[in-house]
């Protein structure tokens, strides 16, 4: 503890967070580390039409990760070209990046997963 502030948190599931503060006790930074976030799943946003997601991202080097999303009804196929951020807050994981949709570049995305 520094200035009665938490400087580190270990969630016991491979995720840790480290915080730094200025002299007034204001948080300056948050560093998240993890072994990796990976997996795949699907749901049915509309009856008969499946949406699927798969990803593999490491907090220590998100730019080396990947994410794919496909929604059958609209035939949307998102493939990441760059993961720019992996954020973990409690049981919520957010992945942000850039990618292509149906092969066309210039898209950004944010995916939120809840454990």
The pLDDT of residue 1: 44
Q: Quick one: average pLDDT of 32-52?
A: 83
The pLDDT of residue 18: 77
Q: Is the pLDDT of residue 113 over 90?
A: no
In degrees, to the nearest 5, what angle opens at C-alpha 93 toward C-alphas 72 and 32? Answer: 145
Q: Quick one: average pLDDT of 30-46?
A: 77
The pTM of this model reads 0.68
Q: Is the pLDDT of residue 28 over 80?
A: no
The pLDDT of residue 20: 79
Q: Is the pLDDT of residue 30 over 70?
A: no
Q: Give, in order, the Cα–Cα distances in Å from 82 to each of 19, 35, 50, 74.
A: 26, 19, 25, 23
């Amino acid at each position: 503890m520094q200035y009665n502030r938490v400087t580190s948190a270990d969630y016991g599931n491979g995720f840790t967070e480290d915080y730094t503060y200025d002299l007034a006790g204001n948080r300056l930074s948050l560093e998240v580390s993890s072994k990796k976030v990976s997996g795949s799943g699907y749901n049915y946003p509309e009856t008969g039409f499946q949406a699927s997601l798969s990803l593999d991202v490491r907090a220590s080097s998100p730019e080396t990760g990947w994410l794919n999303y496909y929604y059958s009804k609209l035939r949307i196929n998102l493939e990441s070209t760059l993961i720019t951020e992996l954020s973990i807050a409690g049981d919520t994981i957010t992945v942000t990046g850039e990618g292509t949709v149906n092969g066309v570049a210039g898209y950004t995305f944010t995916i939120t997963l809840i454990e």
